[in-house]
Amino acid sequence: MKIEKLIPTCNLDTIRDGRGGIFTFYPDDPIVEINFNVVKTGKVRGNHHHPEFDEYYLLTSGEGVLIYQDAEKSSDEFIFMSRGTCTKTPSKVSHVFFAISECTLVVCLTKKWDDCTVPIIHENLGMGSGDHGDPDSPFYKG
Residue 48 lies in a domain: yes
Query: Which pLDDT does position 110 carry in this prediction?
Result: 98
**Cα–Cα distance for residue pair 12/40, rounded to 1 Å:** 34
Residue 50 lies in a domain: yes
**Total of domains in the chain:** 1
Residue 131 lies in a domain: no
* pLDDT at residue 132 is higher than 70: no
Query: Which pLDDT does position 133 carry in this prediction?
Result: 64
Residue 138 lies in a domain: no
**Cα–Cα distance for residue pair 133/42, rounded to 1 Å:** 19
- Quick one: which H or E segment has residue 13? helix 13-16
The CATH number for 90's domain is 2.60.120.10
Q: Which range (17-21, 64-68, 135-139) has the least confidence?
A: 135-139
More confident residue, 140 or 51: 51
The DSSP result for 55-86, as a single string, is EEEEEEESEEEEEEEETTTTEEEEEEEETT-E
Q: Range of 60's domain?
A: 4-122
What percentage of the chain carries pLDDT values higher than 70?
90
Residue 130 lies in a domain: no
* pLDDT at residue 39 is higher than 70: yes
Mean pLDDT, residues 79-86 taken together: 98
Query: Which pLDDT does position 69 carry in this prediction?
Result: 85
* pLDDT at residue 140 is higher than 80: no
* pLDDT at residue 125 is higher than 70: yes
Residue 66 lies in a domain: yes
Which of 83, 98, 87, 104 minimizes the C-alpha distance to 38? 104
